[in-house]
Structure 1
Amino acid sequence: MPSTAATTTDAFPVFKSGRIGVLLLNLGTPEATDYWSMRRYLKEFLSDKRVIETPRLLWWPILNLIILTKRPAAKGKDYDSIWNTDLNESPLKTTTRGQAEKLAQIISDASPEAGELITVDWAMRYGFPSVKDRLQALQDQGCDRILLVPLYPQYAAATSATACDKAFEALMQMRWQPTIRVSPPYYEDTVYIDALATSLRQSLAKLDFEPEKILASFHGVPKSYILKGDPYRSQCERTHALLCEAMNMPQDKLMLTFQSRFGNEEWLTPYTDMTVKGLAESGIKRLAIITPGFSADCLETIEEIAVENRDIFMEHGGEQFAAIPCLNDSPEGMDVITSVVRRELQGWVTF
């Protein structure tokens, strides 16, 4: 059970300890869709050296004079189209909060004692709630051991690493640092692959058509990042191969692609949008896309896949299109997160 340690005199502060924190980490979101909110978000995101590795002398003029002048208005319109107006926030924030709340309930239901011991929280690498604030909040509640859970199945420096960077940056400012663990990528975890396969089967069963092709679309990164040693592509390939095996589908039926490229540099191929266009032009009439690298639906899945790529497919001869939802906080999605957390907390607590 949690304990509270205090000095023998009132002249010194009381320190809470003995609890365990679990902090779910996701990419981030603007706080609103107006120009200045979008500009603040994009500036933080695109100023990250893990995301954009171009030398600052070249990148700063492009970012500040061109991108941050034009892009906020355009991206604000995209976010407007998917915005959760009831809660006045992006779907990514809504879902990540839901994942944290459901995880806390799952732990408590499995073991009331563990539920009393563990505090589950969530944070965004860019925007709010910030990683620094939530780490401090966990420590203030007596969490002297904290598990960081980057919600990225496949590791990339521009996702998992930068989320951890932000946490370590916050730790550098703490006099009393909690003990930290970081959950590893789960790209070939059996529970994750089974969840993807179950979700895909369920989604396909709900369609009124049978796709001729299915794309497994992962977020892209520049090819140069892989050549520098990032394992991201190989982990995406492994996930794709295992999903094909679980679905008993050949890889030319369930195809691997990469989306969301930015700028003029060569990114990982094949590109999702070009593949969609090529399939439609070749005579494919029925297409579905699943996005296994995203733990929650966001702008890149709801707008880029379900709207932009659907339009590309239809404009070039396609007839029926489906965007398969991410695992989100569905039972299958929570099975994955719970499995990761349960495994990484071994030795600290059992539930």
Structure 2
Amino acid sequence: MIKSGDPYQFQVEKTAAAVADALAIPQLDWLVSYQSRVGPLEWIGPATDTEIKRAGADKVPLIVCPIAFVSEHSETLVELDIEYRHLAEEQGVPAYFRVPTVSTHPKFIDGLARAIAAQDRRGGLSCEGGGRFCPANFSQCPAKLSA
């Protein structure tokens, strides 16, 4: 799906890099991993369970930030909080923390409102020319499809 123009991986990794930059922690050791493989299609990697096992082998703590999830739901409350925490404990990860989703935090809602208002002033959602959303090669960008 990504090869056919789906911007999901691009958007997740761009967002994660922005969060890491905003933290401004010198020599921050971070990476993006992917979970919830469903069905027969190959999923994006590296897989979160593989990275948890690597953290256990390296004896490093983990802070998991569900970048692609806005609300708490089964993938955060069950998979991240229960299943992956259990895997981390089994693998000897010294500490495992999960950052809460943004949910309805006032700053998140305000940021969404400002982004939508700014795009509206520019004439609506558009991916043309790379713009705010996706570079032109992501033909499956929802904003591009609706334009």
Q: Bin the TM-score by the shorter chain.
A: 0.7 to 0.9
The within-5 A match list for 1:256-335 is 256-284=32-60, 286-335=61-110
Unaligned runs of 5+ in 2: 124-147
> Per the alignment, in what secondary structure is the counterpart of residue 259 of structure 1?
coil
Q: Report deviation, 1:342.
A: 2.6
More strand by share: 1
How far 1:335 sits from its partner (Å)?
2.0
Post-superposition Cα deviations, 1:2-46, rounded to whole Å, max 9, x if no partner, equal xxxxxxxxxxxxxxxxxxxxxxxxxxxxxxxxxxxxxxxxxxxxx
Per-residue CA deviation, residues 266-291 of structure 1 (Å, 9 max, x unaligned), is 2100111111122112222x211001
Larger radius of gyration: 1
Amino acid at match of 2:30: L
Conserved? CA contact 2:63–2:99, under 8 Å: yes
Q: Are the aligned partners of 1:244 and 1:250 in contact in 2 as well (CA < 8 Å)?
A: no
Scaled by the length of structure 2, the TM-score of the pair is 0.73
Q: Relative contact order (C-alpha < 8 Å, sep 6+): which is higher?
A: 2
Q: How many matched pairs?
A: 123
Residue 232 in structure 1 maps to residue 8 in structure 2: yes
Distance 1:250 1:266, change over 3 A: farther
Letter of the 1:318 partner, please give it. V
Cα deviation for residue 252 of structure 1 reads 6.4
Do the aligned residues in 2 keep the contact of 1:294 with 1:326 (CA within 8 Å)? yes
Cα distance in 2 for residues equivalent to 1:280 and 1:292 = 22
How far does the alpha carbon of each residue in 1:176-226 deviate from its partner, in whole angstroms, 9 at most, with x for none?
A: xxxxxxxxxxxxxxxxxxxxxxxxxxxxxxxxxxxxxxxxxxxxxxxxx11
Q: Secondary structure at the match of 1:254?
A: coil
Post-superposition CA distance 1:60-118 (Å, at most 9, x none): xxxxxxxxxxxxxxxxxxxxxxxxxxxxxxxxxxxxxxxxxxxxxxxxxxxxxxxxxxx
CA distance change for structure 1 residues 298 and 344 in 2, over 3 Å: closer, same or farther? Answer: same
> 4+ residue stretches of structure 1 with deviation over 3 A?
249-252, 344-348
The secondary structure found in structure 2 opposite 1:322 is: strand
Deviation for aligned residue 1:241: 1.8
Q: Confirm or deny: 8 A CA contact 2:59 2:94 kept in the other structure.
A: no
Percent identity over the alignment?
A: 28
CA distance in 1, matches of 2:5, 2:122: 32
Structure 2 CA distance, aligned partners of 1:229 and 1:250? Answer: 34
Q: Is the 8 A contact 1:295 1:328 kept in 2?
A: yes
